[in-house]
Chains A and B, each alone.
Chain A
């Protein structure tokens, strides 16, 4: 693309000016292409969803309407992401604090690299690991939960393979951990040194220093880091597809059943045609809207935060 710019002549001003105009136009065009792509994604999803949204009941796979079809898998998606977030957030914040404030300087860098390695592993590998290693490992725990806490509807009849919503959530938690860690570490590091030193000078212990100067400073940034992790967990496909043996919506987290939107699409889209395809794209639209909202809120918080912390 950029090879078509004006010949690199040192010469006259006019060719240089043309080059300038051309180049700035080119860069502007590229920026607009990006906006257009995003608009296309949204527009295309809406356009292709419309037939499914207003289709007569007998053409929808769930029987009654599109919304009775999409509602259970939407709830499944939200539950999976919520559990993943519950598991990942405390650990991720701990790791981030460890890297930013606790680890010795020469240890912090390799540790950060190790956590980045977690992010580099492809999701399908996590899926395979969850399916063949983590799942069987979780089975004894599920049996235990069912035996002793079986009166809670969440811990119903346990699965014998461990391929359940709970296992999928644990795998997702591992996958979003590095994201939350990396983002919150960046914000923890930005805490003004003076605040920290002032706290220490007043005799605060290290934890008190963290609680009184680092955490208040980082609060909004951490919230947005968590929301970005949530966005990732909502949209993650392969790990769930491989781990979960899908079924109807159920409160039982440790038995087979439940399904998420991305996993439903990945499982069925390759063989789908006609109305079924529209239906899956409409499900994709729902997912797109949810993640878009989550991400927009998170980015909004980040951007606002940036203006505040401009001083350092």
Chain B
């Protein structure tokens, strides 16, 4: 009865595969599964401990293989993983059926890809924390800049005659000021644009164009944004304001470059938040005779403020780590500069880059590397704090929905 139903080639079509499975289950009920004395429902399934047994076997065989070609932990784990996936496929094919085996194979591969994705994350975080802590804990790391730090002092540091001197005060200040300026430029433009898109445009063709190009803008390479800002400020300073050449290299140029990167992020996140504000609120406000602009400012924005604030925080977190646009606009500096509109300025990412690529003492780069990793740790902490803040802000300002 059962045999007659088996299709000639169950692999060809989906339906074929499904009916093949039905056959297999029925086969199994009468087949070897019974012998284990389990219920009819679980008969024909491989026992629970199969996976552990296969994993153990894979570990042992991989260890044996590695012993032949020279043992190292990474290779051992990789070979174990490959053996495990293959062996599970074969075992399941024999004990259950090919479809179950394929399912298991892909499940293993998908989980495996997730584990692979974790490796670089853990490696990066571990490297930054372990390499960065010595620099970070060096006295005066936050309080001093790189003025007076020369190749000679760095060589003495490496030889152990001097403690690590020099710090990131100038870079930290530059990062804060430039990011603040970029935020001040981008937030009003981004906020107003998204209000236009949601509240005023009625989805006309202009709004479609704006939305499309905002999306496209999110893909502008950061270096191109930097080139644009650099060239624009060069034009404004030299051709219009008649300032001497080179005066366009300043913190504000960098802020313009970062704004180009930040505006689209702000627009997109704010637009999404404004869209989820229920229309009933707008209608209720309009029914009370409130003008649209006041409705927008007093009803729509406060309702969406949690999402907007967290979106802006995430946008800041994104630009705070940008290097390329600042490198070509604000240049590099050794001393602290508080003036956004004059002279070169340093930021944390550029500081890291310069310390790694052009160590203060080319023959003794250890000190520079230590400073770079310390700065990297500070930068990552800032970015993570901003990400955390975004989540907290979204929670705190979230509209109270309990009453509705």
Interface residues of A (CB under 8 A from B): 1-2, 5, 8, 16-17, 19-20, 22-24, 26-31, 33-35, 37-38, 40-41, 44-45, 48, 90-95, 97-98, 102, 111, 114-118, 120-129, 131-134, 174, 177, 181, 202-208, 210, 212, 228, 231-232, 234-238, 241-242, 262, 265-266, 269-270, 280-281, 284, 287-288, 291-292, 294-296, 298-299, 302-303
Do B114 and A28 touch across chains, with their CB atoms under 8 A apart? Answer: no
Question: What residues on B are CB-neighbors of A33 within 8 Å?
Answer: 189, 193
A234 to B294, CA, bound (A): 44
**Digit string of B37-52 for contact with A (CB within 8 Å is 1, else 0)?**
0000000000000000
Q: How far is the CB of B357 from chain A (nearest CB, A)?
A: 7
Do B357 and A205 touch across chains, with their CB atoms under 8 A apart? Answer: no
Do A20 and B324 touch across chains, with their CB atoms under 8 A apart? Answer: no
Closest A residue by C-beta to B321: A122
Known A120-B383, A237-B223; contact A128-B107, beta-carbon cutoff 8 A = no
Chain B contact residues (Cβ within 8 angstroms of A): what range?
A: 35 or more
A132 to B353, CA, bound (A): 12
Question: What residues on B are CB-neighbors of A177 within 8 Å?
Answer: 117
Question: What residues on A are CB-neighbors of B214 within 8 Å?
Answer: 34
| Total contacts A-B at CB 8 Å | 279
Do B219 and A95 touch across chains, with their CB atoms under 8 A apart? Answer: no
Do B317 and A120 touch across chains, with their CB atoms under 8 A apart? Answer: yes
Do B221 and A291 touch across chains, with their CB atoms under 8 A apart? Answer: yes
Do A94 and B263 touch across chains, with their CB atoms under 8 A apart? Answer: no
Q: How far is the CB of A252 from chain B (nearest CB, A)?
A: 23
Segment of B28-36, B57-65, B275-283, B372-380 engaged in the interface with chain A = B372-380
Interface of A is mostly: helix
Instruction: Confirm or deny: B284 has a beta carbon within 8 angstroms of a beta carbon on chain A.
Output: no
Interface positions, chain B 190-217, Cβ under 8 Å from A, are: 190-193, 195-197, 199-201, 206-207, 209-210, 212-217
Instruction: Confirm or deny: B225 has a beta carbon within 8 angstroms of a beta carbon on chain A.
Output: yes
Known A235-B221, A287-B224; contact A270-B332, beta-carbon cutoff 8 A = yes
Question: What residues on B are CB-neighbors of A237 within 8 Å?
Answer: 221-223, 323-324
List 28 contacting pairs A-B, 8 Å CB cutoff, sorted by A. Answer: A20-B292, A24-B196, A27-B199, A28-B196, A29-B192, A30-B191, A31-B210, A34-B210, A34-B214, A37-B263, A94-B110, A102-B107, A102-B111, A114-B121, A115-B117, A118-B121, A127-B353, A128-B373, A129-B123, A205-B99, A206-B107, A207-B105, A266-B323, A266-B327, A269-B328, A270-B332, A291-B219, A292-B216
Known A118-B121, A203-B18, A270-B332; contact A125-B210, beta-carbon cutoff 8 A = no
